[in-house]
A and B are shown apart, each in its own frame.
Chain A
Amino acid sequence: MSLTLDQVARIAHLARIEVTPAESEAVRDKLNGILAMIDELQSVDTTNVAPMAHAQDLAQRLRDDAVTETDRRAAYQAVAPETEAGLYLVPKVIE
């Protein structure tokens, strides 16, 4: 499998990474290199192997349902670019 330049542009957009037309060929070739390695992996017969969800064969640890966090809004908002009335402000987004 190999990618087209259009697909590279689309992936870049989904990831919100700016790839200039000048860079896109080089990015495509690098991505295609990764896909080639995956192609090699695909050739292994995995018929009776269950898909792995995590590199460690362990189960998720759980915590008790208790409130352990206190209000540290002032500290968090001190490093935010812009806040008002307790809200974080961001460029306008309207769906």
Chain B
Amino acid sequence: MQWEVVIGLETHAQLSTVSKIFSGSSTAFGAEPNTQAAAIDLALPGVLPVLNRKAVECAIRFGLAVGAEVSPRSVFARKNYFYPDLPKGYQISQFELPVVVGGNLVLQVGQGENAYEKTVRLTRAHLEEDAGKSLHEDFHGKTGIDLNRAGTPLLEIVSEPDMRSSAEAVAYAKTLHALVRWIGICDGNMQEGSFRCDANVSVRPKGQEAFGTRREIKNLNSFRFLQQAIDYEVRWQIETLEDGGKIEQATVLFDPDTGETRAMRSKEDAQDYRYFPDPDLLPLVISDAWKAEVKATMPELPGEKRARLEAEYGLSAYDAATLTASLEVADYFDAALAALGAAGKAQAKTVANWVMGELSARLNKDGREIGDSPVSAAQLAGLVARIGDNTISNAIAKKVFEALWNGDGQSADEVIDKQGLKQITDSGAIEKLVDEVLAANPGNVAEYKAGKEKAFNALVGQVMKAAKGKANPQQVNDLLKAKLAG
């Protein structure tokens, strides 16, 4: 049977505030346990939550960025459950009236020729507080509780079940990750748990309208785990169904060591959160004026930038999408174009090729991010400028790039100068080399004249070798052709 995979994602993005969502405690990561847990975070009697304006502003930014409705009035609700790292016995969240409703995220799935665009609908995004941390290492048979994280502001972003493969789910998570960093509402640090995903996964016979029963994979904090967990879960569900079994709705955990998902010990009351409006908090009102104020501070969004790169510089849709896949890459590209000044527009395609080609390949190979690239945007711009004015060929440019990468020079000009890489464009000098090569290779000349095209390439190679790669390839070609024809 042909199966179709259905995936929806719930993502928790930790908002970039310095203080907690309902208290004035610091949210800085890595502090000594419980040194950033004040009376409100501990749920001591008599305390009241007061909402952090910046957390709301982050939610507005997100709503505007995904074309959603920012609710003029939203309501905080209590989600009731008992766990020691949740001192109040409830989490303050939003239920019936979330702060952000609807919206879309446009993804590029796959790479190169197989790449395609997909729009995933968003259901909602709501503000809530994080819980503390339970440490189950042995404290004489007890559990240790650190409440520094309790009350950290989160935006939970919920997608519609629009994804049909793990590749689409990963593309969604990556696009969302890039977006929240782009608009400055989340640092996106997945190791520290600032961005984590839950995946709702089900399968159904292809063509069937009704969804299958879903299982929710909790707390995936890397794109690789997200992919592995979904792939495993899908295989498991299909095998179970094909063996005549039934899928029970459940919450499962992914074990990175075994690559498997397994059901958490079922909490009989897991789904009974008994939400109700939190009487400690009044409805959150967001005026049009506030929305307009926030909108005025929004950066150019990835989608807008993509369209502009295509229109302004004639870049392909794929190039534009790749260059706007993260704020860092986009900033690097912008900085390189800015460094090229007036020549930037004409060189945009070349800069794009270098950023997506050589630079990206080297970064991948060394496991580095573009933010700490040894070759700065200004240095790359200097290199592209020298290709543009024919000082060096593409082949030599790769050598220069390598030198810059290894720190053998501050600029392309310095490397070219120091290593004598300047391209030979003096036609007299090239002609001399061509004559020498023709005289020394009568065999190739005869073959070429007999109609063997390959012999021509051999001759070009010889000239380039004699020129130590520095002769202008076009001039070599032209001169050789002219001489052989004559």
Give 13 A-B contacts (CB < 8 Å), ordered by A residue. A56-B282, A60-B281, A61-B51, A62-B56, A65-B55, A66-B18, A69-B23, A73-B35, A84-B144, A86-B32, A86-B146, A93-B136, A95-B265
Distance in Å: Cβ of A5 to nearest Cβ of chain B: 18
B38 within 8 A of A: yes
Contacts of B25 in A (CB 8 A): 67, 69
B188-196, B269-277, B368-376, B444-452: which lies at the interface: B269-277
Distance in Å: Cβ of A75 to nearest Cβ of chain B: 10
B164 within 8 A of A: no
> Interface readout for A44-71 with B: 1 if CB under 8 Å, 0 if not?
0000000101111011111111111101
A77 within 8 A of B: yes
Smallest CB-CB A-B distances: 9 pairs: A68-B24, A87-B144, A65-B54, A59-B285, A86-B33, A69-B38, A62-B53, A60-B282, A53-B75
Cross-chain contact A72 with B97 (CB below 8 angstroms) = no
Contacts of B84 in A (CB 8 A): 88, 90, 93
> Interface readout for B48-84 with A: 1 if CB under 8 Å, 0 if not?
0011111110000000000000000001100010111
Chain B interface residue count, CB cutoff 8 Å, equals 55
Cross-chain contact B54 with A87 (CB below 8 angstroms) = no
Distance in Å: Cβ of B310 to nearest Cβ of chain A: 37
Among candidates B17, B24, B143, residue contacting A69 with C-beta atoms closer than 8 Å = B24
Cross-chain contact B18 with A67 (CB below 8 angstroms) = yes
Cross-chain contact B34 with A88 (CB below 8 angstroms) = yes
Cross-chain contact B285 with A60 (CB below 8 angstroms) = yes
Cross-chain contact B284 with A59 (CB below 8 angstroms) = yes
Cross-chain contact B19 with A66 (CB below 8 angstroms) = yes
Contacts of A77 in B (CB 8 A): 34
Chain A interface residue count, CB cutoff 8 Å, equals 39
> Interface readout for B271-299 with A: 1 if CB under 8 Å, 0 if not?
01010010101111100000000000000
Distance in Å: Cβ of A18 to nearest Cβ of chain B: 14
Cross-chain contact A76 with B19 (CB below 8 angstroms) = no
Number of inter-chain CB pairs below 8 Å: 131
> Interface readout for B12-28 with A: 1 if CB under 8 Å, 0 if not?
00000111000111100
B147 within 8 A of A: yes
A10 to B269, CA, bound (A): 9
Contacts of A56 in B (CB 8 A): 282
A25 to B298, CA, bound (A): 60
Contacts of B26 in A (CB 8 A): 67, 69
B317 within 8 A of A: no
Cross-chain contact B19 with A67 (CB below 8 angstroms) = yes
Contacts of A89 in B (CB 8 A): 139, 142-145
Contacts of A16 in B (CB 8 A): 82
Distance in Å: Cβ of A78 to nearest Cβ of chain B: 12
Query: Known contacts A60-B51, A68-B24, A73-B35; is A93 also within 8 Å of B18 by CB?
Result: no
Distance in Å: Cβ of A77 to nearest Cβ of chain B: 7
Cross-chain contact B269 with A63 (CB below 8 angstroms) = no
Cross-chain contact A59 with B34 (CB below 8 angstroms) = no
Cross-chain contact B144 with A63 (CB below 8 angstroms) = no
Cross-chain contact B34 with A84 (CB below 8 angstroms) = no
Known A65-B19, A67-B25, A90-B142; further 12 A-B contacts with Cβ < 8 A: A14-B269, A56-B282, A60-B284, A62-B50, A65-B18, A66-B24, A88-B144, A88-B147, A89-B143, A90-B145, A91-B142, A92-B143
Distance in Å: Cβ of A14 to nearest Cβ of chain B: 6
B154 within 8 A of A: no
Contacts of B265 in A (CB 8 A): 95
B484 within 8 A of A: no
Contacts of B39 in A (CB 8 A): 76
Contacts of B23 in A (CB 8 A): 69
A93 to B50, CA, bound (A): 31
CB-CB nearest in chain A for B132: A88
B42 within 8 A of A: yes
Distance in Å: Cβ of B29 to nearest Cβ of chain A: 14
Contacts of A30 in B (CB 8 A): none
Distance in Å: Cβ of A90 to nearest Cβ of chain B: 4
Query: Known contacts A14-B269, A69-B25, A89-B139; is A63 also within 8 Å of B285 by CB?
Result: no
Cross-chain contact A54 with B279 (CB below 8 angstroms) = yes
Which has the most chain B C-beta neighbours within 10 Å: A14, A60, A73, A85?
A60
A82 within 8 A of B: yes
A94 within 8 A of B: yes
CB-CB nearest in chain A for B28: A67
